[in-house]
Amino acid sequence: MFDDFFIRALVAGVGVAFVTGPLGCFVIWRRLSYFGDTLAHSALLGVTIAYSLEFNIALSVFIISSLIALILVQLQNRTNLPGDALLGLLAHSSLAVGLVVIGFLTFIRFDVMGLLFGDILAVTVDDLYIIWIGGALILLVLRLIWKGLFASTVNYELAEAEGLNPDRAKAIFTILMAAIIAISIKMVGLLLITGMLIIPAAMARNISDSPQKMIIYSIIGGLLSVIIGLFSSLEFNTPSGPSIIAAALFLFVISLFKIKQTIKLKN
Amino acid sequence: MGSNNNVLVKMNNAGYRHNDKWLVQGVSLSVERGKIVTLIGPNGSGKSTTAKIALGILKKIDGHVEKYTNKIGYVPQKISVDWTLPLRVYDFMILTENLDEKTIDEALSLTGVIHLKDKNLGNLSGGEFQRVLLARAISKKPELLVLDEPVQGVDFTGEIALYELIKKISDELNCGILLISHDLHTVMSATDHVVCLNGHVCCSGTPMDVAKNTEYKALFGEQASQILTRYEHKHDHVHTIEGEIKKN
């Protein structure tokens, strides 16, 4: 069944959407879009290291992204630079270093476009295992830290005062971010992973009135984006990542009309 | 202050420094089961900081704090909730602990905001939000309640009813309360122990002791002292939240 590249891509995309749905909501709630971007940019470095050392790509990306997150925390504590400047610094320098390393690896033929924008042809059966097992693990851990993470997202002091250990939840969440980037990089490409995280969640925000609903709609939005995106990618021979993101944007635009309706109803 | 098992939180010579400026220092106090300890003091005297030290929100502190309970309900003075979150009153009630519907309804009824249960938190008025905050803190039946100006923005009659409620809760749950209040009238009617802060503990004791203290008079003026002494009468009735008057 998984012989067909398109079925593989579809199964991979569905797995990714289940995980980006809830994580994307937290990215929006905690205002982490740019942070996600930074981790995704650093993923290129992870990929090149994986290639040069003949190492598993997902694992290598996961390690490098976590490392970048750690460096970010250190820089935040030790410099007086604002957070967004540090994020920009890390995002672009790790992307640049990644590209420079690619330049040195002349003995390997790199599909840079595929890395940046995703390539459905590249999804192997092994990738499916990584996505589904890794994704299930991410969701399980998210479930475990849910209370503390969500409470501290609403209000840090309440969470801390009432014993939910928000600092630990935040640290674990950062690792989950690195993990989702690692497992979805082949599908969506590193420039568009943040889009996969935030666009379905933003769509969901427009049409939901409770956190649970937002998460469910965000997952549904992600699934639809993957399915619509991949079919049109096949049909029009476009790169998979941009097609998925364009589909997500399409859903977001539709959700805007729903807002208009509710505002009218209220008046 | 002997160490007995009724103590819920104990601060010993605690202080907190931020950017080389002491916000508060040398605070020793303890909150016991069934007792209400009130912090009073002018703006910037370190009341909220003291509460945050007691709760363990502030980490790098001087001195010692020991918490003997994890069942804590907290009403912070300022709360900045990010409204990018779609959050109903109901979702907020189960923020730190899962509660059943009945418990939630009871708490919201007690503070008079049961009708707001499915409303979006971002659409509440200041006073309504304050009532929800208090309901959330008491709903989990905590052993220690820390209330940082819990009735700010609440209308006058509501204010009195809520203070009566706080007193009632302290009796019913037999929980300890650390209360921060500007309202000397209410402080005196219910409090067991008053700590008067001004960057450090300027005086402490029963409401009467504090009222007679010269430092307290210097800090709050002669009038405030009269308020305290005048409050030596007993109510023979209570006002419920629904506006009924009940005989004691």
CB contact at 8 A, B88 and A147: no
Q: Which of A74-78, B101-105, B177-181, B240-244 has the lowest mean pLDDT?
A: B240-244
Q: What is the pLDDT of residues A203-256, one digit of tens each?
A: 999 999 899 999 999 999 999 999 999 999 889 988 888 999 999 999 999 999
pLDDT of residue A214: 96
Q: For the domain bounded by A5-188, which CATH number is listed?
A: 1.10.3470.10
pLDDT of residue B4: 61
How many angstroms away from the CA of B247 is the closest CA of chain A?
A: 36
Q: Is A150 on the interface with B (CB under 8 A)?
A: yes
Task: Give the residue from B9, B68, B79, B96 with the most A CB atoms within 10 Å of its CB, the best one to mutate.
Answer: B96
Average pLDDT over residues A79-99: 90
Which residues, 6 or more positions from B242, have their beta carbon under 8 angstroms from its beta carbon?
Answer: B112
Neighboring chain A residues of B57 at a CB cutoff of 8 Å: 157, 160-161
pLDDT of residue B235: 47
pLDDT at residue B58 greater than cutoff 50 = yes
- Pick from B80, B86, B96: CB nearest A210: B86
If one compares B5 and A176, the residue with the highest pLDDT of the two is A176
Distances in Å between the Cα of B167 and the Cα atoms of B73, B76, B138, B151, B179 are 15, 18, 12, 13, 11
Answer whether B74 sits within 8 Å of A213, measured CB to CB.
Answer: no
- Pick from A154, A159, A163: CB nearest B87: A154
pLDDT at residue B227 greater than cutoff 70 = no
Q: What is the pLDDT of residues B2-38, one digit of tens each?
A: 456 789 999 999 999 988 889 999 999 999 998 999 9
Average pLDDT over residues A101-119: 81
Q: Is B218 on the interface with A (CB under 8 A)?
A: no
With CA atoms as reference, the chain A residue closest to B89 would be A210
- Pick from B80, B96, B120: CB nearest A151: B96
Sorting pLDDT into bands at 50, 70 and 90, what band is A1? low
Q: Which of A9-23, A89-103, A105-119, B144-158 has the lowest mean pLDDT?
A: A105-119
Answer whether A153 sits within 8 Å of B92, measured CB to CB.
Answer: no
Q: Is B57 on the interface with A (CB under 8 A)?
A: yes
Q: Is A4 on the interface with B (CB under 8 A)?
A: no
Average pLDDT over residues B76-104: 89
pLDDT at residue B232 greater than cutoff 60 = no
- In B117-241, DSSP assigns E strands to 144-148, 176-180, 193-197, 201-205, 237-239
Would you kindly state where each structural domain of chain A is located, as residue ranges? 5-188
By C-alpha distance, which of B84, B141, B135 is closest to A26?
Answer: B84
Q: Residue A91 has which token pair?
A: 């995002």
Q: What is the pLDDT of residues A38-70, one digit of tens each?
A: 999 999 899 888 888 888 888 999 999 999 999
Average pLDDT over residues B92-114: 93
How many angstroms away from the CA of B10 is the closest CA of chain A?
A: 15
Average pLDDT over residues B114-143: 92
With CA atoms as reference, the chain A residue closest to B54 would be A161
Sorting pLDDT into bands at 50, 70 and 90, what band is B209? confident
Average pLDDT over residues B205-233: 71
Neighboring chain B residues of A163 at a CB cutoff of 8 Å: 70, 72, 96
Q: What is the pLDDT of residues B182-205, one digit of tens each?
A: 777 767 777 889 998 888 888 888
Share of chain A above pLDDT 70, in %: 95
- Pick from B52, B82, B120: CB nearest A29: B82
Burial of A213: CB neighbours in 10 Å, binned 0-12, 13-18, 19+: middle
Name the most confidently modeled range: A2-6, A119-123, A211-215.
Answer: A211-215
With CA atoms as reference, the chain B residue closest to A153 would be B82
pTM for this model (two decimals): 0.85
DSSP-assigned letters across all residues of B12-79: EEEEEEETTEEEEEEEEEEEETT-EEEEE-STTSSHHHHHHHHHT---S-EEEEEE--S-EEEE-S--
pLDDT of residue A262: 59
> What ipTM goes with this model?
0.82
With CA atoms as reference, the chain B residue closest to A165 would be B57
Beta bridge mates, B178: B37, B146
- Pick from A150, A159, A163: CB nearest B70: A163
Neighboring chain B residues of A158 at a CB cutoff of 8 Å: 74, 76, 79, 95-96
pLDDT of residue A51: 84
Neighboring chain A residues of B73 at a CB cutoff of 8 Å: 162
As a whole number of angstroms, the distance between CA B132 and CA A113 comes to 52
Answer whether A29 sits within 8 Å of B55, measured CB to CB.
Answer: no
Please state whether beta strands B72-75 and B144-148 pair in parallel, antiparallel, or not at all (unpaired): parallel
Task: Give the residue from B78, B84, B145 with the most A CB atoms within 10 Å of its CB, the best one to mutate.
Answer: B84
Sorting pLDDT into bands at 50, 70 and 90, what band is B243? low
